[in-house]
A and B are shown apart, each in its own frame.
Chain A
Amino acid sequence: MESFLLTDSENIMQFKTNKLSSVIEWGSLLLSTAIVCFFIAVIIWEIFSKGFSVLSWEFTTMVPKEGMTSGGILTPIIGTVLLTLITSAFAVPFGICCAIYLNEYAENTWVTRTIRAAIRNLSGVPSIIYGLFGLALFVQALNFGTSLVAAGLTLGLLSLPYIITTTEEALKRIPNSTREAALAVGATKFETIKDVVIPSAMSGILTGVVLTLSRAAGETAPILFTGAAFYINGSSGYVNQEFMALPYHLYMLSTQHQSIDQVKPIAYGTALVLVIVVFLLNLTAFYIRYKYRKDEN
């Protein structure tokens, strides 16, 4: 019986090569993870180490001066805050209403399926195309001109699919028995949604909203032609006028300004402030989620 069993020495050889190759190959997985972490570390380090020395109370509370080579970034900060407020004032109610329709009312018809497909496609549309749409619809057709409100609404459209998706996820987690209980004691469908479903899904909805707004606050492409300005004298704040925004300010300082080396420290400072704003919004979202999970248990 000449078998296909290996001899002891062959067996050990095979085992060793297997072991060696798996060590190498596991090492490659570890290496790729390490490279990704290295990228992240470099980005964070570069921005924080070089931006931190610029950061001061004056930097965040003074308007840009002398062709933006000195002074602070108060005007772009105000612009970004107002922009995000307009974005949320439009996208949050609209998105939540749409999610309520999809999850609470809509039956599984071809119309509903088309709406869902539209939402998935909208979230894949490049942000520059939203910029073009905002230009055609708000700036030109509705005659808002290049303004804070046109840019805010454009970012609102961009944010819609994300708010709808996250809100629907939150609504889905509410068990049907909760709704049935409210309906059984005589509440109308609208009252059930308003007083029972939405309050119980609130933390999930808020998490999604905050994450979406943090993304919108950092967007540049959609506001390029809908209202962001190179420079505004004094502080902006009128919804029908052009405005300065943090991401656009950073883009402009690093590519369009005539004395780039002179404004580099301000650019680092702007980048740091922008990253801090975005991270704080993300932390808020994590905190809401964390608190909700804790309360649930």
Chain B
Amino acid sequence: MNYKSRITLDIVFKVVFKATGYLVLALLGGIFAMLIYNSISFFLDVKPWDFFTGMEWAPTAKSPKYGMLPLIVSTTLVTFGAMLIAIPLGVGTASYIAIYAKPRVKNILKPTIEMLAAIPSVVIGFLGIVFLSPGIADLADLPNGLNALNGAILLAIMALPTIITVAEDAIHAVPNAYKEASYGVGANRWQTLRKVIIPAAAPGVITAIMLGVGRAIGETMTVLMVTGNAALMPTGMFDSVKTMTATIAIEMGEVPYETTHYYALYAIATVLFFMTLFANIVGEFFINRFRKYHAV
């Protein structure tokens, strides 16, 4: 190849690479524009106030009701339940791996947990139906076990790998000098963990939790399969609930294009988008704080 064509090629590819970089921006912009455009179309038909505070989701009724409060409460309930299970287990396991486990045990535990992260959500949902649901029905004496509790347990299992991995990294990254100082003044291993290491790693642990929350809010297939999908205001963990993601997944396949109901599903997606964005931004804020104070 002569010099001139080599230079041309160099310039062409520089432009190609740069274009792909900008296309990623366009992708996020496109998603955002789609959500906003369709939400505006929806809010031309339904007042935002009715949408956010309405207690009834019945888009196919004779006089349709588009109140998404039951859906938000359902998503929150299931996510909250999942975190009640996943946070103690996840942070406990992360502390065990980071401080207590011998290298050999560590080398087995970490790939095992990565394996859990690799299992597709639809498989977890399937087990929720065939394995967990009969168990819950027996224990609580219910006709079936498809309810918020089932969803919360499965979401906890799915959030665990994220929480454990990120929290373990944070605990691991706490400078050794902190531990040595603590041992030096006579603290034992447990006191060191609780009073020194966990507080120092706290921003990283919070990031781990927020990433787990983001994952739980956005998870679709498992909750769709195991929570029963009754769009009513839930009163407890044994109620059947319909989360925001499940509502979109079920109803999008059935609505005619460009009806109010169709736009309503995009409006739900917009709320979902901002909820996960918020969880991720909070997570990022804390991990940046962590990096600032414990630059390794």
Contact = CB atoms under 8 A, between A and B. Distances in A.
Q: Do A and B bind each other?
A: yes
Interface of A: 18, 21-22, 25-26, 28-33, 35-37, 39-40, 42-43, 46-47, 94, 97-98, 100-102, 104-106, 112, 114-115, 118-122, 124-133, 135-137, 140, 157, 160-161, 164, 188-191, 214-215, 217-221, 224-225, 247-248, 250-251, 254-255, 264, 267-268, 271, 274-275, 278-279, 282, 286
B280 A120 contact: yes
Given A35-B89, A275-B119, A278-B118, A132 B221 contact: no
A123 to B, nearest CB: 9
Interface in B1-26: 6-7, 9-10, 13-14, 16-18, 20-25
B198 to A, nearest CB: 11
The 7 closest A-B pairs by CB, nearest first: A126-B218, A218-B120, A32-B92, A101-B17, A22-B190, A101-B21, A124-B280
Contact of A36 (B119, B164, B191): B164
A40 B92 contact: no
A2 to B, nearest CB: 22
Contact of A114 (B25, B124, B194, B273): B25
B34 A132 contact: yes
A105 B14 contact: yes
A126 B92 contact: no
Contact of B126 (A39, A191, A271): A271
A97 B28 contact: no
Interface string B245-272: 1001100110001000000011001001
B188 interface: yes
Q: Which of B164, B249, B280 has the most CB of A within 10 A?
A: B249
Contacts of B123: 43, 47, 218, 247, 250, 271, 274-275
Contacts of B218: 124-129
A166 B41 CA distance: 38
A182 to B, nearest CB: 13
A32 B190 contact: no
A114 B28 CA distance: 11
Contact of B120 (A18, A118, A219): A219
B183 interface: no
B200 interface: no
Contact of A26 (B35, B100, B252, B276): B100
Given A46-B127, A98-B20, A101-B18, A133 B30 contact: yes
B189 interface: yes
A40 B265 CA distance: 35
Interface stretch (B66-74, B76-84, B107-115, B172-180): B107-115
Contact of B9 (A188, A224, A225): A188
B88 interface: yes
B249 A221 contact: yes
A11 B225 CA distance: 58
Interface in B81-121: 88-90, 92-93, 95-97, 100-101, 109, 111-116, 118-121
B120 A255 contact: no
B96 A29 contact: yes
